């Protein structure tokens, strides 16, 4: 029997991972619907400058003025769920990959947006 008020996009194994995370653990996720569902349950870390990390585009993409519309969706979701003062950090591509390797959980989805990956740092639920 499903639980009440749990977003349907959060699987039992993902709920288990979220519940098992400690303060400061990170999770990788890459889709707006899932981000919204996770942020309904997972508080972001207020003790760090940037509890949200996105992959900084490579120079050739910057030079071509790449547009990344999914980031606007992410920013709106974070603002709605956590307030307007959450800072987002942009991490160099290979540093992002290294950081993702150390995340508590990685959520693989079918998201195809370029630079759509995001890292969240869990905070305390007070």
Active-site residue set: 23, 45, 97
**Alpha-carbon span 118 to 24, nearest angstrom:** 15
Contact 51, 119 (CB under 8 A): no
**Alpha-carbon span 100 to 104, nearest angstrom:** 9
**Alpha-carbon span 70 to 117, nearest angstrom:** 10
């Amino acid at each position: 029997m499903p639980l009440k008020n749990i977003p349907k996009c959060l699987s039992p194994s993902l709920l288990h991972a979220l519940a098992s995370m400690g303060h400061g653990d990170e999770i990788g996720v890459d889709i707006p619907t899932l981000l919204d569902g996770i942020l309904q349950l997972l508080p972001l870390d207020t003790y760090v400058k940037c509890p949200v990390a996105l992959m900084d585009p490579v120079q050739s993409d910057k030079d071509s003025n790449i547009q990344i519309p999914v980031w606007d969706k992410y920013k709106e979701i974070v603002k709605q769920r956590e307030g307007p003062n959450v800072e987002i950090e942009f991490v160099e591509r290979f540093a992002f990959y290294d950081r993702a390797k150390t995340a508590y959980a990685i959520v693989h989805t079918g998201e195809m947006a370029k630079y759509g990956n995001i890292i969240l740092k869990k905070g305390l639920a007070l």
